[in-house]
Amino acid sequence: MRCPACKSIVLINDTRCRKCNASLTPTSNVPDAGAILQSVETEQSVLREKARSEVARSLDEAAQSPFRQKLDGQISKALGFPAATTAESGATSVSGSARAGAPSTRQRGEGVAAARVSMKALPFFNPLLAHAGAPVAPMVRIEASRERLAHARLILRVEPESGISFAAVDLPDLEPGELFGVKDLKLATNHHLLRDLPEARDTLWTAEVRCGDTVVGSAAAEVSVQPLREWIGLAEAADSLAGLVTPNDPAVKSFVNEIGESFTAYQSGRREVVLEQVVHLFEAIRTGGFRYIQAPPSFEGTGQKVRFPFELLGECQGTCLDWCVLMSALLEYTGIHPMVVMMPGHAFHAVWLDDVDPGGQAPSPDDYRDLVRDKMILPFNSTTYFDEADTFQKAVELAMGFTGDVNQVIDIGVCRRQGIRPVPIRG
């Protein structure tokens, strides 16, 4: 210890400084243990609250990302669902699309830490959106409620089995009141099971925090799982259509091989050679005995069920959008850059006549009109196959007449650059 007056060293039991004779009070010599403990606790409390705020902020930012907001809001509404709600552990009633307090497989035992769990999940799960990288996984918050939570795991169960599973997450040890958030649950999908779903299926998604085999906290939400071929026909979700374009499907390869023509894509550097290859594909469909048919019934509020290329080639009938998906797969397989052009009530084909790199964004409707005028893009109709009088020239003329009505362009090459790969549905 040091004297507060002369700063010389004094003994803990001294009442006066041996150098300057200054009076030494107990508070000047002996540290106040209670004050120190209180200071430490206050600092720890501030740090815990700062950590909680950081976790909450991170989750809120994820929930408020532009596309997540669209999924929660206008897309859910268009599909006929309410916006996503948050399920809190400990509740016993169903509210909206969320339910909490799902029964556990084993009761919490004495001495086992309990956790408060909340989960925010979208009311629907669309496999094409998930495949396209949309933020469709639920977000989960875990808080240690009374005791230290150690060696715990987060497990998300989907019942009944619908082709969806999530990887378990090992949680960090949490002190009482400490918060942890999970916003990027790793998703795995069984595309074959999802493909075989004829209609949307109501499922229960349960987030469980487990210590060993014991569930110490849970929350659940009801989610409608849609079939794999269900495409949401809204501008914000339109690019997910590229997942259905499967150029390496054996049926696509076989169809192209049976045409018996050479496909050199853009190697010649001449637009007329590219055009000739497109005509070969068009004629193969026109003379293949195919028919037009309305889309299968869909009960999801917006969009439609779309056939995969192998299904269309097997059934020999489809909608304008089905034919767009097939033609895009054929063009992509032969090395030509395809687009699907949208207008109210219709979709049709377009191709780049030059081997250009459009960058990371598809042409806007105005850009599309300029590119068509400059003969860099060639459009042709998707339903001019089914009459003996139909020709490629007629298909081009019809598509040219739609130019002013175009409201969206899906550039398959741009979608690939954005990470939307073909759905691995076969093989």
Per-residue pLDDT of 367-422, as tens digits, reads: 999 999 999 999 999 999 998 889 999 999 999 999 999 999 999 999 999 899 99
Are the beta carbons of 399 and 107 closer than 8 angstroms? no
Task: At 305, list the tokens.
Answer: 């069920």
CA atoms within 13 A on the CB side of 353: 17
CA distance linking residue 381 with residue 394, whole number of Å: 8
> What is the pTM for the complete model shown?
0.79
User: Is 103's pLDDT higher than 90?
Assistant: no
Per-residue pLDDT of 178-214, as tens digits, reads: 888 888 788 999 998 999 899 999 999 999 999 988 9
CA distance linking residue 238 with residue 231, whole number of Å: 8
Identify the bridge partners of residue 115 per DSSP, sorted by sequence position. Answer: 144
- What's the rounded mean pLDDT across residues 42-66? 56
- What's the rounded mean pLDDT across residues 300-328? 94
Q: Apex CA 88: angle with CA 84 and CA 90, to 5°?
A: 150
Looking at residue 6, its pLDDT comes to: 80
CA distance linking residue 343 with residue 159, whole number of Å: 39
Per-residue pLDDT of 277-308, as tens digits, reads: 999 999 999 999 999 999 888 888 788 999 99
Of 221, 181, 235, the closest CA to residue 84 belongs to 221
CA distances from 104 to 174, 208, 287, 390, 408 (A): 21, 8, 60, 63, 48
Those residues with Cβ within 8 angstroms of residue 255's Cβ, 6 or more apart along the chain or in another chain: 284, 313, 330
User: Which residue has better confidence, 258 or 103?
Assistant: 258
CA distance linking residue 73 with residue 177, whole number of Å: 32
User: Is 47's pLDDT higher than 70?
Assistant: no
User: How does residue 90 score in pLDDT terms, banded at 50, 70 and 90?
Assistant: very low
> Residue 39: phi, psi to the nearest 5?
-65, -40
Looking at residue 304, its pLDDT comes to: 92
User: Is 93's pLDDT higher than 60?
Assistant: no
